[in-house]
């Protein structure tokens, strides 16, 4: 059974990406960081490896998707409050990211999101209960 999750994302400029995610409040594990990669700590047991495109290409025979033109993954994180969702989106925009869709309030769940510097989509949700039965 898995004990940790590591999401690997290609980035064009590692230092700009580190600066962007640092502004959002994330920290990095220096043991897994060099000039071509860094390990962003999202939560206990959840990590995002930000890899330069050159480094990322070493792990896959496929072409790297241009996330500004197509969606290759939607990263969804559950946050502790609606305000935390709004705050994170605001921080992302302040740091150079953008909003890719309007906030959505489904009653039991509030969601919003941002697009990072490389076009990766980050959806943030706050759950307040169970979805309605259909």
Whole-angstrom distance, CA of residue 10 vs CA of residue 90: 23
pLDDT at 1: 87
CA-based torsion, 25, 31, 37, 41: positive or negative: negative
**Predicted TM-score (pTM) of this structure:** 0.91
Whole-angstrom distance, CA of residue 75 vs CA of residue 123: 6
Give all domains of the chain, ordered by start, each with its CATH number.
5-127 (3.10.180.10)
Judge contact between 62 and 113, C-beta under 8 A: no
| Lowest pLDDT segment from 36-40, 63-67, 125-129, 130-134 | 130-134
Report the side by side order of strands in the sheet with 104-105.
Answer: 74-78, 121-127, 109-115, 104-105
């Amino acid at each position: 059974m898995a004990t940790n999750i590591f999401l690997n994302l290609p980035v064009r400029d590692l230092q700009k990406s580190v600066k962007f995610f640092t502004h959002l409040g994330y920290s990095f594990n220096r043991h897994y960081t060099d000039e071509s990669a860094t390990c962003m700590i999202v939560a206990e047991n959840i990590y995002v490896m930000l890899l330069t495109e050159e480094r990322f290409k070493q792990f896959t025979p496929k072409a790297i998707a241009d996330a500004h033109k197509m969606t290759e993954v939607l990263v969804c994180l559950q946050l502790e409050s609606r305000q935390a969702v709004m705050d994170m989106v605001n921080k992302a925009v302040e740091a150079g990211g953008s909003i890719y869709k309007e906030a959505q309030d489904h009653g039991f769940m509030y969601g919003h999101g941002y697009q990072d510097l490389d076009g990766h989509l980050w959806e943030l949700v706050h759950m307040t209960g169970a979805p309605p039965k259909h």
